[in-house]
């Protein structure tokens, strides 16, 4: 190991800690020691310090202790002669620097609260480029991707490329591999984030290109994100630094790309990242640390060309990434799913209220379709002018020896994701309310509507090869053909919906498990029945049944419900036996239809969380998208942090949006009639279903009696309004007694 890299890294550690100490001292002169500090909307305090040291930094005074730890970690300076260039002291200096970085960024939030833009998307036109620390709502939604494999890892890029086109090329190579990109720091006043904006690349959480901040200190947000993954999804307790760091080495495949000259502070940051098992790959000729040890392979590699830096980074981190080559002119991959096609970039569109746009997948006889055949029946992109609209019908015919009609909706829903994977093409909605927008850039590359069929054929074959033998796609763009397909599709939709809606838990002897989230909530076992959809909203009973048939060893396993132990609360002996085994003895029983008595366990992926409101003798629920306080005194993020790790928490329960209007929703506690508050956005989204279910329960006016944030955000505020409206919960038997 080079003496030079040790000298630079340790000197950088001293510089960074000294700067943070000075800034902290100045802050104490301007603010009271009891002043609240922290990153916005998170239950993880300052996550690197909290996860590794167990210290909850909540006030300015609380910063003193981690700063003292950082100072103690700094090793002696490298001597001019007889130096000992061991890796350990360098790693300590790097860790000290990272603790100081987190203090420095927390002080920035205190002193300049508007410096970062609290959003999932940037707003470059108004100068809002830097997003800062991820809020828990973003973290919960995105962090799970590093557990379930949809995001193989992340590249933390510091500095800037020589020019915007090189920056764009590097980022697009990562996007093809579905790798997140976290951006921080600048090089001579220019940052990679600003280069990408100049090159016309959309950045933000929605495109998996996340600009954290303009300084090297903002790289700490990437490490904080990784440590939150270990705590929330890996179940590692705060303060267990060995397990936190090992989880990241083994489970979060991240690395650093240093673009531009590496100074002492950058060297300290790189040394700090090595503690996580995250290597640094640079484009300049820097001193290297090549032996394996803390990292899977090399620790620091320099002088890598921009053409090779992506492949070298993936190789050095030990990532296993598969690139699916799809024969279309545009780039393709999950990284483009969140991409927007805005008005100024729009060439043409289909659906979205402008025209009819319908997608339908149907099982066909093996002899009636030709595998790989894609037909465009009607005008295509080349027949249009900029700004034109078209009706669109996407008809996918599939056949397979193992395919069943029940699988149709599962595969049909893939249309949304797969079309969104095409760079420059945006898809929204589903069924007969779909919306497709095509950008100028996609058309310039040669995109046609036939490419939609090429993508669907290739990806459905890849993802469902066990059940599919043939796939044929027809794209309709003539109005009469689209209308005919829409009529056919709507009849099928109606049949599917009625079949699920009419099913009851009493109709079946088998429920299904979903243990996908056990990787980050080890004790959680989600059980799905006809009248209780999965709490993430992604699975209903029919989906689980079909998924089990597609993949018998997957996360959706059959549960023989067995003897009914409590019909009102929804307790079943077979379910209890299954969850006891699946939770490794941590959970002995739970009830399907109650949030008061032994409710089902909850993980952090739930769409909504319900909580008791004792004063109102009712319950409230809040959806993930609602970021304000709620009448139970907690935001969604706080609720998820408190009871979202796989616990059964009486008085609280996670659930899906759809579940709210299912017949068995907390029926053991009084059902939907107990609902006294929910966010207005959620209430309006479910209006028709709430009104229908309320009418079935004898209260057709219940919708207008449910309070929302326009009424109040505390029980004291909403109670008089509920009395005035005559909400039925107020006259029901006590919720707890």
DSSP string, 264-299: HHHHHHHHHHHTTT--EEESS----B-S-SSSSS-S
Tokens of 681: 């956005």
pLDDT surpassing 60 at residue 103: yes
pLDDT > 90 fraction of the chain, expressed in percent and rounded: 65
Listed in order, the ranges of the chain carrying CATH 1.10.8.190 are 3-111
pLDDT in tens, 143-153: 888 877 778 89
pLDDT, position 352: 79
Contacts of 254 by beta carbon, 8 Å cutoff, 6+ apart: 153, 154, 155, 156, 222, 226, 248, 276, 278, 317
In the chain, % helix, strand, coil (3-state, to 5) comes to 45, 15, 40
pLDDT surpassing 80 at residue 104: yes
Tokens of 421: 């994977």
Using alpha carbons, select from 554, 505, 515 the residue that is nearest to residue 663.
505
Tokens of 366: 């093996």
For residues 424 and 201, the answer to whether their CB atoms sit within 8 Å is no
Fold of 334-490: 3.30.1650
What is the C-alpha to C-alpha distance for residues 655 and 610, in angstroms, rounded to an integer? 8
Tokens of 470: 């043939």
pLDDT, position 114: 94
What is the C-alpha to C-alpha distance for residues 426 and 438, in angstroms, rounded to an integer? 7
pLDDT, position 81: 57
Using alpha carbons, select from 155, 146, 295, 280 the residue that is nearest to residue 222.
155
SS (H, E, C) 607-630: CEEEEEEHHHCEEEEEECCCCCCC
pLDDT, position 322: 54
Fold of 3-111: Helicase, Ruva Protein; domain 3 (1.10.8)
For residues 127 and 197, the answer to whether their CB atoms sit within 8 Å is no
pLDDT in tens, 295-340: 888 899 999 999 999 989 988 898 866 555 788 999 888 778 778 8
Using alpha carbons, select from 472, 463, 479 the residue that is nearest to residue 399.
472
Q: Architecture of domain 505-731 in CATH?
A: 3-Layer(aba) Sandwich (3.40)
What is the C-alpha to C-alpha distance for residues 614 and 617, in angstroms, rounded to an integer? 5
Contacts of 240 by beta carbon, 8 Å cutoff, 6+ apart: none
pLDDT in tens, 277-301: 999 999 999 888 877 778 888 899 9
Region of poorest pLDDT, from 219-223, 364-368, 522-526: 522-526
Tokens of 540: 């209903």
pLDDT > 70 fraction of the chain, expressed in percent and rounded: 96
pLDDT surpassing 60 at residue 263: yes
pLDDT in tens, 697-728: 999 999 999 999 999 999 999 999 999 999 99
Neighbours of 448 (CB within 10 A): 19
Using alpha carbons, select from 474, 43, 459 the residue that is nearest to residue 224.
43
Band (pLDDT 50/70/90 cuts) for residue 627 is confident
pLDDT in tens, 508-531: 999 999 876 664 567 888 899 999
For residues 27 and 110, the answer to whether their CB atoms sit within 8 Å is yes
Band (pLDDT 50/70/90 cuts) for residue 439 is very high
DSSP string, 450-518: HHHHHHHHHHHHHHTTTT-SEEEEEEE-SHHHHHHHHHHHHHHHHHHHHHHHT--GGG-SEEEEE-GGG
pLDDT surpassing 70 at residue 737: no
Find the helix packing angle between 64-73 and 87-111, rounded to 10°. Answer: 150
Q: Which residue has the higher pLDDT, 452 or 148?
A: 452
Region of poorest pLDDT, from 11-20, 289-298, 388-397, 434-443: 289-298
pLDDT surpassing 90 at residue 535: no
SS3 298: coil
SS3 582: helix
State CA 555 to chain mean position distance: 19
pLDDT, position 609: 94
SS (H, E, C) 505-539: HHHCCEEEEECHHHHCCCCCCEEEECCECCCCCCC
Q: Which residue has the higher pLDDT, 355 or 637?
A: 355
Tokens of 675: 């609902």
pLDDT in tens, 33-45: 999 999 999 999 9
Q: Rounded to a whole number, what is the distance in angstroms from the first to the last CA of the chain?
A: 68
For residues 599 and 591, the answer to whether their CB atoms sit within 8 Å is yes
pLDDT, position 323: 53
pLDDT surpassing 60 at residue 611: yes
What is the C-alpha to C-alpha distance for residues 414 and 178, in angstroms, rounded to an integer? 17
SS3 2: coil
Band (pLDDT 50/70/90 cuts) for residue 432 is confident
Give the pLDDT mean for 612-624: 95
What is the C-alpha to C-alpha distance for residues 90 and 280, in angstroms, rounded to an integer? 14
For residues 634 and 609, the answer to whether their CB atoms sit within 8 Å is no
**For the purposes of burial, counting CB atoms within 10 Å of the CB of 346, is it exposed (0-12), middle (13-18) or buried (19 or more)?**
middle
pLDDT, position 137: 87
Listed in order, the ranges of the chain carrying CATH 3.30.1650.10 are 334-490
Q: Architecture of domain 124-317 in CATH?
A: 3-Layer(aba) Sandwich (3.40)
What is the C-alpha to C-alpha distance for residues 248 and 709, in angstroms, rounded to an integer? 40
Residue that the structure tokens 């996550």 belong to: 47
pLDDT, position 518: 62
pLDDT, position 493: 81
Please, what's the b/e burial string for 311-343 (b: 16 or more CB within 10 A of its CB; e: otherwise)?
ebbbebbebeeeeeebebbbbbbbbbbbbebee
Listed in order, the ranges of the chain carrying CATH 3.40.50.2030 are 124-317
Tokens of 487: 């009529």
190: which strand partners?
187
Please, what's the b/e burial string for 504-523 (b: 16 or more CB within 10 A of its CB; e: otherwise)?
ebeeeeebbbbbbbbbbbbb
- Parallel, antiparallel, or unpaired: how do β-strands 180-184 and 209-213 relate? parallel
pLDDT in tens, 395-428: 999 988 778 888 888 788 788 879 989 999 998 7
Residue that the structure tokens 């020589």 belong to: 162
DSSP string, 74-100: PPPPPPSSS----HHHHHHHHHHHHHH
pLDDT, position 216: 97
Listed in order, the ranges of the chain carrying CATH 3.40.1470.10 are 505-731
What is the C-alpha to C-alpha distance for residues 282 and 302, in angstroms, rounded to an integer? 5
pLDDT, position 164: 97
What is the C-alpha to C-alpha distance for residues 165 and 171, in angstroms, rounded to an integer? 10
Tokens of 692: 């229908």
């Amino acid at each position: 190991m080079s003496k030079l890299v040790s000298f630079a890294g340790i000197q950088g550690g001293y510089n960074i800690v000294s700067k943070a100490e000075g800034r902290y001292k100045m802050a104490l002169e301007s603010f009271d020691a009891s002043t609240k500090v922290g990153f916005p909307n998170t239950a993880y305090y300052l996550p690197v310090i909290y996860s590794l040291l167990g210290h909850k930094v909540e006030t300015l005074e609380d910063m003193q202790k981690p700063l003292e730890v950082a100072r103690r970690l700094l090793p002696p300076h490298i001597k001019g002669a007889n130096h000992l260039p061991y890796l350990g002291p360098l790693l300590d200096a790097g860790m000290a620097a990272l603790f100081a970085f987190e203090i420095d960024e927390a002080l920035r939030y205190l002193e300049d609260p508007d410096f970062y833009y609290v959003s999932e998307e940037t707003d470059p036109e108004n100068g809002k480029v830097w997003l800062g620390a991820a809020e828990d709502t973003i973290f919960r939604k995105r962090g799970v991707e590093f557990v379930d494999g949809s995001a193989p890892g992340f590249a933390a890029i510091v500095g800037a490329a020589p020019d915007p086109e090189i920056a764009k090329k590097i980022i697009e190579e990562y996007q093809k591999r579905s790798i997140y990109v976290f951006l921080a720091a600048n090089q001579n006043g220019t940052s990679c984030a600003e280069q990408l904006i100049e090159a016309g690349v959309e950045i933000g959480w929605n495109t998996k290109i996340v600009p954290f901040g303009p300084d090297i200190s903002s790289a700490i947000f990437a490490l904080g994100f990784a440590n939150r993954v270990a705590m929330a999804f890996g179940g590692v307790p705060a303060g267990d630094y060995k397990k936190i760091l090992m989880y990241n080495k083994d489970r979060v495949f991240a690395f650093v790309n240093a673009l531009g000259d590496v100074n002492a502070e950058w060297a300290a940051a790189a040394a700090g990242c090595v503690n996580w098992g995250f290597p640094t790959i640079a484009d300049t000729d820097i001193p290297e640390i090549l032996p394996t040890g803390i990292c899977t392979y090399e620790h620091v590699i320099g002088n890598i060309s921009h053409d090779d830096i992506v492949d070298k980074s993936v190789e050095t981190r030990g990532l296993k990434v598969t690139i699916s080559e799809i024969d279309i002119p545009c780039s393709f991959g999950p990284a483009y799913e969140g991409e927007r096609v805005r008005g100024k970039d729009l060439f043409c569109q289909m659906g979205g209220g402008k025209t009819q746009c319908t997608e339908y997948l149907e099982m066909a006889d093996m002899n009636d379709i030709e595998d790989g055949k894609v037909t465009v029946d009607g005008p295509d992109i080349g027949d249009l002018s900029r700004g034109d609209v078209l009706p669109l019908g996407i008809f996918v015919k599939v056949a397979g020896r193992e395919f069943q009609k029940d699988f149709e909706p599962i595969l049909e829903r893939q249309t949304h994701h797969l079309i969104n994977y095409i760079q420059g093409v945006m898809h929204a909605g589903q069924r007969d309310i779909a919306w497709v927008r095509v950008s100028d850039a996609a058309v310039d590359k040669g995109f046609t509507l036939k490419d939609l069929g090429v993508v669907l054929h290739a990806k459905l074959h890849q993802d469902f090869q066990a059940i599919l033998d043939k796939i044929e796609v027809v794209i309709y763009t003539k109005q009469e053909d689209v209308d005919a397909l829409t009529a056919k599709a709507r009849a099928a939709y109606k049949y599917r919906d009625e079949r699920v809606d009419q099913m009851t838990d009493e109709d079946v002897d088998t429920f299904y498990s979903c243990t996908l989230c056990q990787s980050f909530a080890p004790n959680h076992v989600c059980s799905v029945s006809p009248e209780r959809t999965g709490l993430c909203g992604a699975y209903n009973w029919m989906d689980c049944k079909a998924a089990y048939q597609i993949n018998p060893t997957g996360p959706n396993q059959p549960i023989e419900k067995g003897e009914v132990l409590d019909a009102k609360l929804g307790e079943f002996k077979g379910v209890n036996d299954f969850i006891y085994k699946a939770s490794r003895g941590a959970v002995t029983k739970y009830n399907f239809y109650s949030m008061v008595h032994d409710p089902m366990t909850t993980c952090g992926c739930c769409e909504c969380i319900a909580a008791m409101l004792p004063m109102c003798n009712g319950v409230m629920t809040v959806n993930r998208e609602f970021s304000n306080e709620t009448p139970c005194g907690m935001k969604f993020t706080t609720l998820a942090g408190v009871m979202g790790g796989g616990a059964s928490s009486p008085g609280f329960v996670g659930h899906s949006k759809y579940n709210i209007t299912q017949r068995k929703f907390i029926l053991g506690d009084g059902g939907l009639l107990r609902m006294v508050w929910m966010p207005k956005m959620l209430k309006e989204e479910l209006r028709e279903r709430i009104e229908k279910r309320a009418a079935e329960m004898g209260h057709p006016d219940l919708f207008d009696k449910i309070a929302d944030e326009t009424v109040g955000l505390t029980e004291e505020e909403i109670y008089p309004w509920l009395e005035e409206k005559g909400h039925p919960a107020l006259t029901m038997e006590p919720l707890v007694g």
